[in-house]
Amino acid sequence: MAKKTRRGQKQCPKCNAWVKGTRAKTCPKCDYQFNGKQEAAPAPEPAVAEKKVGNTVTFEQVRAVAQTVKAIGGFARLNELLGLIKEVGGLKKFKDLLEAMSATEAGAVPY
């Protein structure tokens, strides 16, 4: 059966009621939204290990810092590295400098 049309109105696909005005955003009877953005499902909760509450430190964070200290060669060298990062202007600039330096290595330059 063909769908009827009325000038200046639109029909709600949910409850088949006619809604006045072609620019209506919602159906007054069933609250159907015509703009195609129906209520989205709530975002899933992050995993329990990823939740951060205040200033708490997780065991995984402690383990990662301990491995970094060990790899660098102790707390004194790690403090020097952190001072250098601060001197350069932050972690983003430090990362950019490292990438630029690694691109100039002999093995990385395509000839």
Q: What is the secondary structure of 44-95 as a DSSP string? A: PPPPGGG---TT---HHHHHHHHHHHHHHTSHHHHHHHHHHHHHHTSHHHHH
- pLDDT at residue 46, rounded to an integer: 58
Residue 29 lies in a domain: no
Could you read off the pLDDT of 56-108 as tens digits, one per residue? 888 898 899 899 889 989 989 988 988 988 998 888 888 888 888 887 775 55
Confidence of residue 1 (pLDDT cuts 50, 70, 90): very low
Give pLDDT tens digits for 5-43: 677 788 888 888 888 876 667 887 887 777 765 555 565
Q: Are 41 and 59 in contact (CB under 8 A)?
A: no
* 67 occurs within a structural domain: yes
- Residues 105, 95: Cα–Cα separation, whole Å: 16
pTM for this one? Answer: 0.41
> Does residue 43 form part of some domain?
no
Is 109 a member of any domain?
Answer: no
